[in-house]
């Protein structure tokens, strides 16, 4: 996680802060799940599968293939694009 956060920090301070807040929110959800006995592994796998499917459905609707297959950097740019939408 540190290299990714360093990437965002070098890219833009505001993007870094947004990603840091998002990361802290994710950690809060994990802590909440753990306190109520929800398996973090099951929660993570379930979310990963559902959201991965939704991503490919979105790409199918767009008619474009996911660009992160071409370069790993696109995988890191994706969250910035989401936060910059107005």
At 43-77, the pLDDT tens digits run 889 889 998 899 888 888 888 777 666 677 777 77
pLDDT tens-digit profile of 15-44? 899 889 989 998 898 888 888 888 888 888
Of 45 and 81, the one with more pLDDT: 45
Of 78 and 8, the one with more pLDDT: 8
Query: Which runs of E-coded beta strand occur in the chain?
Result: none
Share of the chain above pLDDT 90, in %: 12
Q: At what angle do helices 13-35 and 40-62 cross, to 10 degrees?
A: 130
Domain boundaries, the chain: 2-84
pTM over 0.85: no
User: Residue 11 in contact with residue 80, Cβ under 8 Å?
Assistant: yes
CA distance 84 to 21: 15
């Amino acid at each position: 996680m540190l290299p990714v956060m360093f990437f965002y920090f070098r890219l833009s301070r505001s993007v870094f802060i947004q990603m840091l807040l998002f990361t802290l929110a994710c950690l809060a959800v994990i802590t909440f799940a753990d306190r109520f006995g929800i398996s973090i592994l099951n929660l993570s796998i379930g979310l990963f599968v559902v959201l991965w499917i939704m991503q490919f459905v979105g790409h199918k609707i767009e008619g474009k293939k996911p660009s992160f297959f071409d370069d790993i950097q696109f995988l890191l740019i994706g969250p910035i694009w989401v936060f910059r939408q107005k």
